[in-house]
Amino acid sequence: MRCGDIHLNSGPHQNYLETSLINTRSLLAGYNSLPLDTQFTKLDEIKLLINEYNLDIVALNETWLDETLSNDLLHLENFDLYRKDRNRHGGGVALYIKSCFFAKLRENLMNKNEENLFVEINFKHNRVIVGTWYRPPGQNAESQKLFFESFSDTFFAISTENPSSVICFGDFNDRCKLWNDSHTESELGTTLKGLIGV
């Protein structure tokens, strides 16, 4: 999909958004006080992926960023960066979205206690909501309950808006071998699968 109009589900000549999810486990691992362009970081790997696959959207989980790192430092040519940080020791989510798209942050869809991020992209005939979510492993029962409530509330709110499409990336740390099995080894059991409705 290039920067013109997009017609989702429009027959044999569909346009697609090229997307990727990356769990970075520290976007700037090894970064020090030297100028960023003199160092090799995971940003360089993301640039390679964008060029190789002509990506329109890149979702990142476990960015490990904080407010001391400016968007200027993290700039990728022709992309806008949206982010929600935790700290330099873990967590955090971000979205790189092509600058030519008309996109806006949807803070009303984001829960301040969850690591999630949502952006709306408007095309001539379509409105797409893109999000990414990180759920840390090892949550206790109360934290899991709050996660499920937030997840359910967010997607109910999105469904009431009736967007053309919803794209949700995420690292939910729901370790299961097969999506359609009994999820006996998963922290979340089959609850997340039930919420998604598949």
How many residues does this entry show for the chain?
A: 198
Judged against a pLDDT cut of 80, whether residue 135 lies above it is answered with yes
Report the predicted TM-score, pTM, of the whole model to 2 decimal places: 0.89
Q: What is the largest CA-CA distance in the chain?
A: 51
Question: For residue 33, what is the DSSP state?
Answer: S
Tell me whether strands 79-84 and 127-134 are parallel, antiparallel or unpaired.
unpaired
Give the Cα separation of 132 and 126 in Å (integer).
20
- Per-residue pLDDT, 10: 45
**Partner residues linked to 25 by β-bridges:** none
CATH match of 19-196 with 3.60.10.10: yes
What is residue 12's predicted lDDT score, i.e. its pLDDT? 47
Amino acid at 135: R
- Check if the beta carbon of residue 109 is closer than 8 Å to that of residue 133: no
Output 31 or 165, whichever has higher pLDDT: 165
Whether the predicted pLDDT of 198 surpasses 60: no
Give residue-wise pLDDT tens across range 49-80: 999 999 999 999 999 999 988 999 899 999 99
